[in-house]
Amino acid sequence: MDILQEITAHKFDEIAALKAKKPSLREALLKSDSGIIAEFKRRSPSKGWIKEDGRATEIPLSYEQNGAAAVSILTDRDYFGGSDDFIREARKSGVTVPILYKNFVIDELQLAAAALCGASAVLLIAACLTKDECRRLLCKAHELGLEVLLEMHSEAELEYADLQPDLCGINNRHLGSFVTDVETSFRLAELLPKDAVKVSESGISDPQTVKALKEAGFNGFLIGENFMKTEAPGLALHQFIAAL
């Protein structure tokens, strides 16, 4: 075999690995006792740097070792200090649980990037997309082997749940003002399809809140700043789960 044939054969192996089934975020949440999606979030537009020196080679793996059902990684660079490379680094460090590609996805190229860097699922935000755009991106994500967490914030956006995403998210943070109110999840939970896998996002800092959200029908709880603002995010997660 000459060198070109060898390289081409290797590329077929790489593509096969990319197409291989990834760990399922939906299944992980349904099987988990805690349901916590621990987020690697270094910066926020409203609060500035939360943990500027946070390493994707360390914190996501620590989350997994301390009981996270899944990990969310912010990949937006300008507003959240993120990078697609953070997912690659997390995978190389040994993370095997599902990873959510957290960004403001508006184009199919971003879905390809998510698949290439090792994500299991992508976030689609109803407020950023028309329903037709969301449908197209959801279908493309599935073609690439990615699950979709579809995020909604208001009664008007709940019609997007008709697209049957893998998971339905309720964001407690208003993306215009960045004001957070967990009551948003409680208010909208009963309006989602009964069989939806429900995820409450943002503003969760108390184990008692998680218990109440579980009773309201939620399966997953995306928590970032509450852990990232501490000296040891993985330890903070461990203590949070112990309190549950």
Give the active site residue among 89, 151, 157, 225.
151
Q: How many residues does the chain have?
A: 244
Which candidate in 39, 64, 89, 147 is catalytic?
A: 39
* Alpha-helix residue ranges (DSSP H) falling in the chain: 3-19, 25-31, 59-65, 84-93, 108-117, 131-143, 183-189, 207-215, 225-228, 233-243
Q: Per the residue annotation, which of 120, 200, 202, 219 is the catalytic one?
A: 202
Residue of 102, 198, 219, 225 marked catalytic = 102
Tokens 């070792």 sit at which residue? 65
Answer yes or no: 108 catalytic: no
Q: Which of 89, 157, 201, 225 is catalytic?
A: 201
3-state secondary structure 18-51: HHCCCCCHHHHHHHCCCCEEEEECCEECCCEECC
Q: Is 39 a catalytic residue?
A: yes
41 catalytic per annotation: yes
Task: Give me the catalytic one of 66, 120, 171, 219.
Answer: 171
**Among 87, 86, 70, 53, which residue's Cα sits nearest to residue 231?**
53
Annotated active-site residue 202? The verdict is yes
Alpha-carbon distance of 210 to 3, in angstroms, equals: 56
CA gap 39, 226 in Å, rounded: 9
CA distance 82 to 67: 23
226 is catalytic: no
DSSP state of 120: S
Question: What are the tokens at 26?
Answer: 């939906």
User: Among 22, 32, 34, 41, which one carries the catalytic annotation?
Assistant: 41
DSSP state of 193: -
The residues assigned a catalytic role are 39, 41, 102, 151, 171, 201-202
